[in-house]
A and B are shown apart, each in its own frame.
Chain A
Amino acid sequence: MRERLAVVGNGMAGVACVEQILRHKQDFEITIFGDETHVNYNRIMLSPVLAGEKSFDDIVLNGVDWYRRHGIHARLGARVAAIDPVARTVATEDGMVTEFDRLILATGSSPLIPRMEGVNKSGVFVFRTYDDARRLIELSGPGIKAAVIGGGLLGLEAARGLQIQGCDVTVVHLAGTLMERQLDATGGSYLQRKMEAMGIRVMCGKSTQALLGNGHVEGLRFHDGEQIEAGMVVIAAGIRPNAELARAAGLKVNRGVVVNAHMETSAPGIYAVGECTEFEGQTFGLVAPLYEQGKVLAAAVTGNRGPGFSAQAPAAKLKIMGVEVFSAGDFDESHPGAEAVRYEDPAQGIYKKLVLRNGRLAGVVLVGDSSDDHRYLEWLRSGADLAKQRRHLLAPPPAADGGFDAAKMADHDTVCGCLGVSKGVIIEAIHEHGICTMAQLKDRTRASTGCGSCTGLCQSLLKAVAPDFEEEKAKVLCECVPFPQDKLREIIRTQRLESVQSVLEIYGNGKGCEVCKPAISYLVDVASCGGHQEDRSARFINDRVHANIQKDGTFSVVPRMRGGVTTPDELRRIADAAEKYNVRMVKVTGSQRIDLLGVRKEDLPRMWEDLGMPSGQAYAKGVRMVKTCVGSEFCRFGTQDSITTGIELERRLENLYTPHKTKLAVVGCPRNCAEATVKDIGLVGQDGSWQVVVGGAAGKGVRKADLLITVETTAEALQAAELFFQYYRENANYLERTYDFVERLGIEKIRRDTVYAPEDVRQRLLGRLRRSKERSSDAWLERYNPRATQFVQIQPLEAMQ
């Protein structure tokens, strides 16, 4: 009969240990008990979940099929209430008893609740499980004052997450400086400044005496008498090993379940792994040593006992975008024989300290720039003699790519610190299994499934080694602002951010690039209905000079010709301007208007003046044109007045920015002469009604537009178009054309949210459109009030020969 192995705890350490056991090909009949109802997930990534960067699907480590594939019996949502080491049984709370031959305790730990009054009030939370994270996301939001008790790794990550959800956050910390277990006082104060710059209030040296409020929490009172308001409190003040089960069963327990170097408890056949353990008087709070424990245990339980467990120097990294903090080893320079090497740049917020002992690295603290963390960790773990490198400890000769260079790593160097995966193992896996995506690499080697900080390194290894490397579809906007666009839209709207720079500074790297700057420009514009602070340096050149740049650096000029209708007078002015400014070509465009190609930047303002027509926005992610057919005024088949309607539609929407260019058409009957059914928005006249269609395309691809609604009057048709237009503006990703947007959301949802939405919802959509429209104007009027040297060719002050 197969030996029966029971595992209590479906968390990170327990399941990682089971993964190792499976590798030994020992044939156990495995049952895993987990009191959470979820499959095995990456707890570390709950911080990005709270910050909206990841969803549950993204953080699953082993899904249902994994348990099934390996014949593992998973008892989820089942809490083990007692174990009997003599009868060799575990009993779950529902009274079911399961026999085992061997047992692994992997119960993890629980949040520590410091002694204070009022912790049972509603609105008081901890942050340990996915359910906790979900509750926090549900209940947080703009206008809510939140307090986080505890300024360690977990507390700060929770604080940032809540802030991204819109809360006004204060971190309350007992010690004099933040993260005092990982940082010295100087490092802590650098970190505090960074958190404050992000808009999170930090109060250090504060001991909470009571949570105030009647039933629901309303505030905190400190021992010094000071009080602050808080409608939501998260306690992140440390953890306590879950050892009660073992204690009740008579196992040796101090703070945690006592284990030896082979993870054996005091009871034969019973092992423990993870945060519930205590080894040589030490308990654990980070995964790297726990995975090590798992390997040792797997060897022991399968009869392959190898070297025992020894705790390595702990290394910790803060997972807050834009706040780089890394700490490893013993950084206390007051210890005998220790000497410190420091670098500080207060203006840039960079602080680095290495502590050496006997010419070897003992500890390291990095704040503001942790790009070299791998180098230091390697020195620390290998105990490298640094005598020869003394001059370059903090300022290594810059690598070719300015960052850490994967090519220079030795094969035995660790890439993934959490799971202990070396460069050699990764390269071997890539070759052996033809790996070409990150997902495959994670699946094979488990690298980067811990804290994720080695993802970049894994990617560069893949890129360098895998012949068929495939870049994963980027879900985030870009490296500078690593949020999915949905999240960013929500952040900008709820936090009322009104400038590109403020978004970059609070949620990004402060610099931005050609991808994120135009996108954020759009997002702040639409979220504030045009009330944002316009930043032209963040716009593409076309939107700085309101003309489309050409291959030779000149520009094209397309005046607005609403509905494709013009006059002899306009045509005369166009002809005159074309001659006066020597345009290289006059062309009738595919959008029923005229393009003047090859205009010099400095001629643009005068040319616009001479034309006396508004901008056609032919250069912008904005409203291009409304094409029309001749319609009922002239055409023998015409059933609706497409020209008047088209011109009116263009007037209502022109001058506004949209996620991508928006092209419209209005036709007088279903013969569809102006191709309305392949436009972003089309109005198709019928006898006695209009069809309003959306999401059509005839560019890179062809897509027939979906019917949004059929209405009787022209007024209703125009309103339906406006509703969809504003809905697209507010909900599409930047650079998402309507044909993708409609496909992504589905026309049913769009109908429900626009034309069939409750009256007040529709009125609000139209109200925001109206507000944006009121604030907009013809871009070419900027000729009367240009920005500094916007159209000017600068001449040097001194003549050059």
Chain B
Amino acid sequence: MRVLPYGDSALLVETDDVLPLAEACRSGLDGLLDVVPAARTVLLLAEPGTDLGGLRAAVETLEVAAVEAAEVAAVEIPVVYDGPDLADVAALTGLSEDEVVAAHTGTAWRVAFGGFAPGFAYLAGGDPRLSVSRRETSRTKVPAGSVGLAGEYSGVYPRSSPGGWQLLGRTDVVLFDLDRDPPALLQPGAEVRFVARDS
């Protein structure tokens, strides 16, 4: 763990255990406005005027327990694998299109962190063969429900937006709905399984 400065009301913590640390900070530290998990870091946002030295010491001595997978319900996402980049992903990975689908559905993913848009989750921990770079040029419009890959991550576009992920397919599930509690379908730490369907 390494704690880096981030202005007068935040600290950035580099860690190998992003989700357990984020959870430990949420439950074990007082006075935080938000805890922002990301790829390799957890950002702690405090009220201006907070004693950051004290916060740093508290983080460094925090007991970080493993997050139990059972704490967050698993989510199944049905996908029609007819995305415009399926052939490109097959070419990039050296797999056939069917093997790409099998790899994407064959292992469970886990919600690593949020960002980009409300309800968007960076899903990590999938089949390492599916690691592909983003498209060289972003699309100006990616439809809601598009399922894509970028780097080590998979993700589902919660709504229509510009985007540069390699699109494998599409789903009907609603990722973000303010009339639902919680509004985001994919909660931090949740296990996600993609399931292929025909239409």
Query: Is the pairing of A and B real?
Result: no
Q: Enumerate chain A interface residues (CB-CB to B < 8 A).
A: none
